[in-house]
Amino acid sequence: MDENSPVFAIAVAAELAEMHPQTLRQYDRLGLVVPGRTRGGSRRYSMRDIVQLREIARLGSEGVSLEGIRRVLELENENKELRDRVRELETALADQLINRPGARVFAATTTGAAVSLRAGARPQRNTQIVLYRGPR
């Protein structure tokens, strides 16, 4: 079972989140935490939903408005989606690099030009010294 599996009925979710079931219904109507639904229309909460409910309670106790809480949750969810996408792209890139040995490798020169390198070769190190005298 993963954290996004909707398995908890509203009574269990309310108990885990230490809230009243009516509060969970209100948050669902407001779009703060939208649980999954069964074919019959019953709400089913995931562990991730429970964590979000606890976060709502924490932010509310600190005086954050429901609109502020909605925005915080929205940004946290977007952040998680972006991290997941980056992880997915990193995996795809690693797979490409592993599956394409001998692919061309490039380095940039100090002027910004691209230089082709052999696989496993290192770019030449530039040891020139440049003196700069700023305006006086």
Give the pLDDT of residue 22: 97
Give the pLDDT of residue 128: 58
**Separation in Å, CA 18 to CA 36, 39, 56, 106, 113:** 20, 27, 11, 56, 61
Q: How many Å separate Cα 77 from the centre of its chain?
A: 7
DSSP 114: E
DSSP 8: B
Strands (E), the chain: 36-37, 43-44, 105-108, 114-117
Give the pLDDT of residue 95: 84
Q: Residue 73 is which amino acid?
A: L
Give the distance between the most distant pair of CA atoms in the chain: 79
Count of CB atoms within 10 A of residue 70's CB?
Answer: 17
Give the pLDDT of residue 14: 96
Give the pLDDT of residue 129: 59
Residue 102: CB partners within 8 Å, gap ≥ 6? 119
Give the pLDDT of residue 64: 95
- The pLDDT tens digits along the chain (136 residues) read 788 899 999 999 999 999 999 999 999 999 999 999 999 999 999 999 999 999 999 999 999 999 999 999 999 989 999 999 999 999 998 888 777 766 667 777 777 777 777 666 676 676 655 555 667 6
Residue (of 91, 120, 124) closest to 103 by Cα position: 120
